[in-house]
Structure 1
Amino acid sequence: MDRATLDKQPEAVALARDFTRNFLGGIHPAVDPEDAASVELTVSELVTNVVRHARGTTCSLRLLAQPDGIAVEVADADPRPPRERAPDLTAGTGGFGWPIVQQLAKAVTVSAGAGGKTIRAILPR
């Protein structure tokens, strides 16, 4: 298991991807390259959603290697759950991330409380 706290700044997305690559590179047995790319994309999308939409100044990223998958948890101080919206192909305001996460993951859960929410996605290994 590895954990990182990230400031809610645009550079957090690149830091989260680097953190994820380092984590995946250090676990055995190794993760299939295609599955590793899916984990990295999921982390990138979840952290991007925090930077763009969540309240608060930080988020946390937790990665856990399981025998049959990789668990990705992103927590922030905003209790509002993610919402799906129509993808915006002209103004560049997104709308793609949440559906991508739901499609790549074997399971996605959102746990919300007064202190914020945690999104947990389990991806193939």
Structure 2
Amino acid sequence: MQSPITSESHTGSSAQYTGRPLRPDQARDAASEFLTSLDPPTAESTAQNVLLLVSELVTNALRHAGAVTSLKLRADHLRIQVTVEDPSPAHPRGRAPDWTGLAGGFGWPMIERLAQSLTIVPARPGGGKAIIAALAR
């Protein structure tokens, strides 16, 4: 099993984290640690939204692309940015939610509602994509 790679840096009023979580709970733990390290502290409601974004983006990458190639978190005095890269070039698309609870369909609409901005870009020449979600700090 591959272990997550982590690095954290703080410069002035900005901070960043890069890792490769293998499971959503690892991604949430990393995001929670990142958020608690910020100065000034992040508002509780913003922190909860960031944790939901991280959890849903990582879950979707694992479910639909087979892996997370990178989780990046960045914060400055204005915003927090969550970037999840995966090996699939396919863009996410909304679908009708499965109200039986078996097939999902709730994650992407939640991501679209939580993020103030949402961008999908090719991650590298070899394929894959990066989904970048940002929220006001």
TM-score by length of 1: 0.90
If you compute each CA radius of gyration, which structure gives the higher value, 1 or 2?
A: 2
**1:67-121 superposed Cα distances (whole Å, 9 cap, x missing partner):** 2110000001100000111111115211111111110111000002642000000
**Greater relative contact order structure (CA < 8 Å, 6+ sep):** 1
The one-character-per-residue Cα deviations of 1:16-54 (angstroms, maximum 9, x if unpaired) are: 000000000001111000000000000000001011111
Indicate the residue corresponding to 1:16 in structure 2.
27
Q: What is the SS of the residue equivalent to 1:71?
A: strand
Q: For residues 20 and 101 of structure 2, what CA distance do their matches in structure 1 show?
A: 30
Q: Are 2:121 and 1:111 aligned?
A: yes
Q: Which residue of 1 aligns with 2:135?
A: 123
**2: distance between equivalents of 1:92 and 1:31?**
34
Match of 1:80 in 2: 90
- AA aligned to 1:19 is A
Q: Does 1:31 align with 2:46?
A: no
Q: How well do the aligned residues superpose, as a CA RMSD in angstroms?
A: 1.3
> 1-side partners of 2:43 and 2:29: how far apart?
17
| Corresponding position: 1:6 with 2:21 | yes
Q: Is the 8 A contact 1:79 1:114 kept in 2?
A: no
Task: Extract unaligned runs of 5+ from structure 1.
Answer: none
Per the alignment, do residues 92 and 67 of structure 1 end up closer, same or farther by CA in structure 2, a change over 3 Å counting?
Answer: same
**Segments of 4+ in structure 1 off by > 2 A?**
none
CA distance in structure 1 between the partners assigned to 2:91 and 2:76 by the alignment: 25
Query: How far apart are the structure 2 equivalents of 1:85 and 1:109?
Result: 19
Aligned match of 2:62: 51
What's the TM-score, normalizing by structure 2?
0.83
2:69 aligns to what SS in structure 1? strand
5+ unaligned residues in a row in structure 2: which ranges?
A: 1-15
